[in-house]
Chains A and B, each alone.
Chain A
Amino acid sequence: MALESLPVAATAIPIGVAFGVVLERAGLGDPRVIAGQLTGHDFTVVRVMFGAIVTAMLGLAWGSAAGWIDPARIAIPPTDIGAQALGAVLFGGGFALAALCPGTACVAASSGRRDGLAAVAGMFMGTALTPAVWPAVGGVAAPVPREGARLPDDLGIPLGAVVLLVTVAGVVAAMIARRRESIPAAVPRWWRPRTVEAVALTLAVAFALTDAQPSVSPERLAAIAGEIRREADHVHALELAEWIREGRDGLRVIDVRDGVEAGTYRIPGARIVPLDSIPLLPVARGEDIVLYSDGGAHAAQAWVLLRARGVATARVLEDGLAGWEDEVLSPVPPTTPDDSAQTRFRRARALALWFGGRPRLMPVADTPAPARVAPRPRRRNTC
């Protein structure tokens, strides 16, 4: 976009000017208006803020749907829940004392209010002195915040539903607020807030209907792809076997094979969930999900579906049921006398016996057995 080659000032100053004019004209540079909101007498602040959020959100939603706006190019504030909760408490206390927020303090100062200037000075002091109080408050901050975290992904709700919820909340707040309005505002005769609210609701409902799929942002997909590349999503058959044996808390093994009949072998404790039910599978907090299929391809696909829904604790059984048969049910003694291989085999043999498998007695390479008895080739990286 040509806009990116413009000098910074070419976009920053006009947008700042417009921001300043709107805040000033809305009355938000006057601490009495903000104090009025905080005492519940005057709902200007809530109406302006919700109005702006809903307008920009709907514009963004429809602009992206129509292809006019590329949402991936817009920087999203990071998420660090602990720090943001404590920060909000401190901020809210300061906001109540000053009856101005940082932006409106600048508006107040610019319109010649001395309390605005004092709030701006305090704001600068507080920011510069943050390192001094950091030992007391910084403990809640995560070393690295979550970038690009958004409600639809985090709640596992479609984007359209979140847009509709926020719009309904904004319109309801505005309807209640309008009954209690008290500041003298200039209202042209043709201006009907009710019409604006009806338009916003219509746009939100229409967006929710057109956007019925869960939203997955490109950044999120890139992060998921990184997990797949690092194989952070895998669990080895022996590890899973140990988890099952020790009755690990929250472990839930899911068999995604199609058309599994009653007598077919399943990993003990596994529940059958066909692939098409995975997107709707209820997952409780703290559950460790392990998915498997015959080779692993369907399990890996189920993993992507869960991960895209925001389920972060799912894993895929390496090499699927084939890997389980090879590694847990019929482990083969190693051909070399190497210590770690021997230890590993003893561990596998114990698990095999526990799971009712049959550990081989001799290394495969030394067995002059007919071809049909030879173990099938180990499958690797099937997902």
Chain B
Amino acid sequence: MTRAPRRWLDPTGAGMALGIVLLASFVVAGRGIGASGAFAAAAGRTLDAVAPAATAADPALADRIPSGVALIDDWIVLQLVGLCLGAAWSAWQAGRLRRGSGNASGARLLRALAGGALMGVGARLAYGCTSGLALSGGALLATGAWIFIPIAFGTAFLVTALARDPALARP
């Protein structure tokens, strides 16, 4: 178990591979790959159960958080399940699967939680995240994606410059 983890792919090669996966998705599924859409479907299902009228007030909100999605038969949900399976298998194969604790302080977890929550709201407003909007929409030359990419990355650079997490030193 002390074997060093397998090294990462060269980023150019990884980018090409990711582009080929994306292209395959366009061709066989007629849509790009994504992540936040699955969270929206799951959150919509939860809201159906706990606060059924939560999104009814504004059609723009109802358009962003779908109601009544059959999660087990939803493309983006199943794709995210596949992503988790693939990532777990790949991390295990590469000797990077972590078990137990020891990799995150309380402050780091809090930042991740708060960051996740902000991304949740931001992705709903923007109709997608770095995968579904920036990556898939970017390749399709969707206007909204090219609005999102520079602003999201610009803000991320700015926030990092102001409040960098010391726990995340270089690997």
Q: Which residues of chain A come closer than 8 Å to B168, judged between CB atoms?
A: 31-32, 35-36, 99
User: Which bracket fits the contact residues of A?
Assistant: 35 or more
Report the bound CA distance from A138 to B122 in whole Å. 11
B1 part of interface (Cβ distance < 8 Å):
no
Please determine whether B117 and A35 come into contact, CB atoms closer than 8 angstroms. no
Chain A minimum-CB-distance residue to B33: A19
Please determine whether A88 and B126 come into contact, CB atoms closer than 8 angstroms. yes
Q: Which residues of chain A come closer than 8 Å to B7, judged between CB atoms?
A: 184-186
Chain B minimum-CB-distance residue to A14: B82
Which residues of B131-146 are within 8 A (CB) of A? 131-146
Please determine whether B43 and A8 come into contact, CB atoms closer than 8 angstroms. no
Which residues of A167-226 are within 8 A (CB) of B? 174, 177, 181-187, 191, 193, 196-197
In the complex, which of the residues A129, A134, A137, A140 has the most CB atoms of chain B within 10 Å of its own CB atom?
A: A134
Q: Which residues of chain B come closer than 8 Å to A60, judged between CB atoms?
A: 23, 26, 139-140
Please determine whether B140 and A85 come into contact, CB atoms closer than 8 angstroms. no
Please determine whether B19 and A77 come into contact, CB atoms closer than 8 angstroms. no
Please determine whether B126 and A83 come into contact, CB atoms closer than 8 angstroms. yes
Q: Which residues of chain B come closer than 8 Å to A69, judged between CB atoms?
A: 26-27
Please determine whether A122 and B160 come into contact, CB atoms closer than 8 angstroms. no
A235 → chain B, closest Cβ, in Å? 28
Report the bound CA distance from A123 to B5 in whole Å. 28
Q: Which residues of chain A come closer than 8 Å to B123, judged between CB atoms?
A: 87, 91, 102, 123, 127
User: Which bracket fits the contact residues of B?
Assistant: 35 or more
Please determine whether B43 and A186 come into contact, CB atoms closer than 8 angstroms. no
Knowing A22-B21, A25-B14, A59-B23 are in contact, say whether A166-B141 is a contact too (CB < 8 A).
Answer: yes
Please determine whether A53 and B139 come into contact, CB atoms closer than 8 angstroms. yes
Picked from A19, A43, A152, A177, the residue with its CB within 8 Å of the CB of B21 is: A19
Please determine whether B11 and A26 come into contact, CB atoms closer than 8 angstroms. yes
Please determine whether B120 and A8 come into contact, CB atoms closer than 8 angstroms. no
Chain A minimum-CB-distance residue to B146: A151
Picked from B32, B64, B110, B120, the residue with its CB within 8 Å of the CB of A126 is: B120
Q: Which residues of chain A come closer than 8 Å to B122, judged between CB atoms?
A: 86-94, 126
Picked from A79, A111, A125, A191, the residue with its CB within 8 Å of the CB of B98 is: A111
Chain B minimum-CB-distance residue to A151: B141
Please determine whether B60 and A141 come into contact, CB atoms closer than 8 angstroms. yes
Q: Which residues of chain B come closer than 8 Å to A86, judged between CB atoms?
A: 122, 125
Please determine whether A74 and B58 come into contact, CB atoms closer than 8 angstroms. no
Chain A minimum-CB-distance residue to B31: A75
Picked from A83, A112, A122, A185, the residue with its CB within 8 Å of the CB of B11 is: A185
Interface segment among A142-150, A246-254, A267-275, A348-356: the answer is A142-150
Please determine whether B82 and A48 come into contact, CB atoms closer than 8 angstroms. no
Knowing that A106-B84, A137-B125 touch, tell me 17 more A-B residue pairs with CB under 8 angstroms. A16-B86, A25-B8, A25-B94, A48-B18, A56-B26, A83-B125, A92-B153, A101-B130, A110-B83, A110-B91, A118-B109, A119-B113, A119-B119, A130-B65, A130-B125, A142-B60, A150-B140
* Chain A residues near B (Cβ < 8 Å): 3-4, 8-9, 11-27, 29-33, 35-36, 38-44, 47-57, 59-60, 63, 69, 73-81, 83-107, 109-116, 118-131, 133-134, 137-138, 140-146, 149-152, 154, 159, 162-163, 166, 174, 177, 181-187, 191, 193, 196-197
User: Can you identify 24 A-B contacts, CB atoms within 8 angstroms?
Assistant: A13-B78, A18-B21, A19-B131, A29-B87, A36-B171, A55-B18, A56-B139, A83-B126, A84-B133, A87-B126, A89-B155, A90-B122, A93-B155, A94-B115, A95-B119, A95-B155, A103-B83, A106-B35, A112-B99, A123-B123, A130-B43, A138-B61, A174-B12, A184-B8
